[in-house]
């Protein structure tokens, strides 16, 4: 999807050529489900991803997944290798089955992105702020002492399994980043831009008249070819309807 194409390229440019770990989706690797109402106290926590004021990024983008193959990747240390709070970015790329107007509606994109709020791996307590594009995670001591210990591969497979329950999702790649050498601040800026693009898609579908001169989304549309194309398509449809 060209709406997010430049952002996806910018994210790839910030990452090393190869991840530290990667694998295809395997349902057998899904993390054991936990209790969504459970509370993980700090005294029972080994560390917090994005904790202690460290960078914290959450972003869902829509575009072509390489090979249209469900997969996950890790840049940096896995959970069992971490010993203290660390910077954390979690990026998910979703390929849609089609790019029809109905699929691209804001509600559909949000339904897909919000699947992550149904993710409750045992011993992995997620707190996501969509408005701030942040994700913080408390990891339980018990989850790291189990055999085998909880891994990002387990969490990633659980998320992919959830996302594939959405009828419009064709493929998913989810990426976890704990490497402090990667520019999490730059990733955060790109995540905020992705949020602006999704909001601009909503605005395009909601407006009866697309007047660029007075539109608050014009700065975003001017930067994204896909948004301009969507805008002109909607304007042509409106003119045909009016005639």
SS (H, E, C) 32-45: CECCCCCCCCHHHE
- Residue identified by tokens 């994109």 is 109
Average pLDDT over residues 224-243: 57
H-type alpha helices, the chain: 5-14, 101-104, 106-113, 141-145, 152-163, 184-206, 218-223, 225-242
Average pLDDT over residues 62-84: 96
Say if residues 127 and 182 touch (Cβ distance below 8 Å). no
Contacts of 38 (CB under 8 A, 6+ apart): 120, 125
Among residues 168, 169, 150, which one has the least CA distance to residue 158?
Answer: 150
pLDDT tens per residue across span 170-179: 999 999 999 9
Identify which has the larger pLDDT, 16 or 230.
16
Q: Could you tell me the pLDDT band of residue 111, with boundaries at 50, 70 and 90?
A: confident
Q: Of 3.40.50.300, 3.30.1650.10, 3.30.365.10, 3.30.1700.10, which CATH number belongs to 5-242?
A: 3.30.1650.10
Q: Could you tell me the pLDDT band of residue 198, with boundaries at 50, 70 and 90?
A: confident
Amino acid 200: pLDDT? 76
Distance, CA of 163 to CA of 143 (rounded, Å) = 23
pLDDT tens per residue across span 181-191: 999 999 999 99
Average pLDDT over residues 84-89: 98
pTM, two decimal places: 0.85
Q: Could you tell me the pLDDT band of residue 108, with boundaries at 50, 70 and 90?
A: confident
pLDDT tens per residue across span 114-137: 899 999 999 999 999 999 999 999
Contacts of 2 (CB under 8 A, 6+ apart): 224, 225, 226, 229
Q: Sketch the domain layout of the chain as residue ranges.
A: 5-242
Amino acid 233: pLDDT? 60
Distance, CA of 25 to CA of 13 (rounded, Å) = 24
Q: Could you tell me the pLDDT band of residue 98, with boundaries at 50, 70 and 90?
A: confident
Q: Could you tell me the pLDDT band of residue 206, with boundaries at 50, 70 and 90?
A: low
Q: Does residue 152 carry a pLDDT above 60?
A: yes
Q: Backbone phi, then psi, for 108, in 5-degree steps?
A: -65, -45
As a whole-number percent, the residues of the chain with pLDDT over 90 amount to 68
Q: Does residue 218 carry a pLDDT above 70?
A: no
Average pLDDT over residues 91-100: 88
Amino acid 234: pLDDT? 56
């Amino acid at each position: 999807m060209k709406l997010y194409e430049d952002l996806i390229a910018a994210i790839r440019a910030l990452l090393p050529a190869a991840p530290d770990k990667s694998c295809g989706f395997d349902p057998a690797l899904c993390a054991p489900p936990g209790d969504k109402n459970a509370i993980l106290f700090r005294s029972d926590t080994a560390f917090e991803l994005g904790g202690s004021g460290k960078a914290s990024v959450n972003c869902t983008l829509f575009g072509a997944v390489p090979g249209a193959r469900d997969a996950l990747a890790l840049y940096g240390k896995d959970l069992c290798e971490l010993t203290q709070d660390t910077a954390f970015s979690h990026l998910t790329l979703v390929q849609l089955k089609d790019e029809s107007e109905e699929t691209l509606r804001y509600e559909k994109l949000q339904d897909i992105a919000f699947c992550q709020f149904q993710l409750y791996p045992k011993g992995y307590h997620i707190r996501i702020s969509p408005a701030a594009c942040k994700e913080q995670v408390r990891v339980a001591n018990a989850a790291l002492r189990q055999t085998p210990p909880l891994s990002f591969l387990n969490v990633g497979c659980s998320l992919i399994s959830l996302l594939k329950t959405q009828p419009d999702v064709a493929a998913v790649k989810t990426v976890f980043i704990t490497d402090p050498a990667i520019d999490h601040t730059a990733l955060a800026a790109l995540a905020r831009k992705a949020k602006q693009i999704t909001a601009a898609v909503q605005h395009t579908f909601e407006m009866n008249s697309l007047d660029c001169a007075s539109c608050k989304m014009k700065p975003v549309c001017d930067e994204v070819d896909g948004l301009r194309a969507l805008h002109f398509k909607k304007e042509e449809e409106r003119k045909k309807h009016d005639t």
